[in-house]
């Protein structure tokens, strides 16, 4: 309740700049939606909002510009879309037979920024490619030409959480977790 009262008091005066430090931590979903509705209204009328948050999905929906910090230093900044484009798009290829995985990996490697992650148990691979480097129909045509019997082929844009891990992660564990999510 104290957090809600502090935020409400800030919103009433229509400040030129509003600093919000983790305003939705511990807040129920209905109150969170109400807070963001009020903040959007203020921003639409010219208030500059500086938000610190660990909920990067909120930053993705609300922010015009995001700065990712590590140990007190900015390691990346830009619009949410521009930041996501810096690490590329995830490609997922699911195959019928494990024997198709090497050919699928060879096709994906044409555009991949690093070797594809191959999961022989799940019969799928994931690869990170530069945003816009290939279209889904083109990829499917290349897989077909290579004789890959794909059950599913999809693209997925990264989340800001994945951008954060990419820009701040120092361990192989962080990268493996990002690949597993892809």
**All structural domains of the chain with their residue ranges:** 2-83, 89-156
Q: Could you report the per-residue pLDDT of 43-96, keeping only the tens digit for each?
A: 888 889 898 888 899 899 889 999 999 999 999 999 999 999 999 999 999 999
Q: What are the residues facing 92 on neighbouring strands? A: 126, 154
Output 96 or 9, whichever has higher pLDDT. 96
Instruction: Give the global pTM.
Output: 0.73
Q: Which residue has the tokens 């800030």?
A: 10
Tokens (6 digits) for 101: 């995985």
Distance of alpha carbon 45 from alpha carbon 64, whole angstroms: 15
Residue 109 has pLDDT above 70, yes or no: yes
Residue 155 has pLDDT above 60, yes or no: yes
CA dihedral 34, 39, 43, 45 (to 10 degrees): 60
Share the mean pLDDT of the chain. 87
CATH class, domain 89-156, is alpha beta
Determine the average pLDDT of the residues in 166-182: 58
Residue 171: per-residue pLDDT: 47
Output 147 or 15, whichever has higher pLDDT. 147
Tokens (6 digits) for 73: 């230093």
Residue 126: per-residue pLDDT: 95
Residue 34 has pLDDT above 90, yes or no: no
Tokens (6 digits) for 82: 């521009």
Residue 19: per-residue pLDDT: 87
Residue 63 near residue 98, CB atoms below 8 Å: no
CATH number of 2-83: 3.40.50.300
Distance of alpha carbon 7 from alpha carbon 21, whole angstroms: 10
Residue 9: per-residue pLDDT: 66
Give percent of the chain with pLDDT exceeding 90: 55
Distance of alpha carbon 179 from alpha carbon 126, whole angstroms: 7
Residue 172 has pLDDT above 60, yes or no: no
Residue 174: per-residue pLDDT: 45
Residue 132 has pLDDT above 90, yes or no: no
Tokens (6 digits) for 172: 């192989």
Determine the average pLDDT of the residues in 106-116: 93
**How would you write the chain as a 3-class SS string?**
CHHHHHHHHHHHCCCCEEEEECCCCCCCHHHHHHHHHHHHHHHHCCCEEEEECCCHHHHHHHCCCEEEEECCEEEEEECHHHHHHHHCEEEEEEECCHHHHHHHHHHHHCCECCCCEEECCCCEEEEEECCCCCCHHHHHHHHHHCCCCEEEEEEECCCHHHHHHHHHCCCHHHHHHHHHHC
């Amino acid at each position: 309740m104290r957090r809600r009262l502090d935020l409400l008091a800030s919103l009433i005066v229509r400040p030129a700049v509003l600093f919000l430090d983790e305003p939705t931590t511990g807040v129920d979903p209905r109150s969170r939606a109400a807070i963001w509705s009020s903040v959007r209204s203020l921003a639409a009328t010219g208030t500059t909002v500086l938000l610190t948050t660990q909920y990067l999905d909120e930053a993705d929906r609300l922010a015009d510009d995001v700065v990712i910090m590590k140990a007190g230093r900015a390691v990346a900044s830009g619009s949410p879309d521009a930041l996501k484009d810096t690490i590329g798009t995830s490609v997922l290829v699911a195959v019928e037979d494990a024997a198709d995985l090497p050919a699928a990996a060879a096709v994906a490697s044409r555009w991949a920024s690093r070797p594809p992650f191959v999961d022989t148990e799940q019969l799928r691979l994931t690869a990170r490619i530069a945003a816009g480097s290939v279209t889904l129909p083109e990829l499917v045509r290349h897989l077909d030409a290579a004789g890959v019997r794909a059950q599913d082929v999809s693209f997925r844009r990264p989340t800001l959480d994945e951008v954060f891990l990419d820009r701040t992660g120092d361990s192989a564990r962080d990268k493996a977790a990002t690949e597993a999510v892809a």
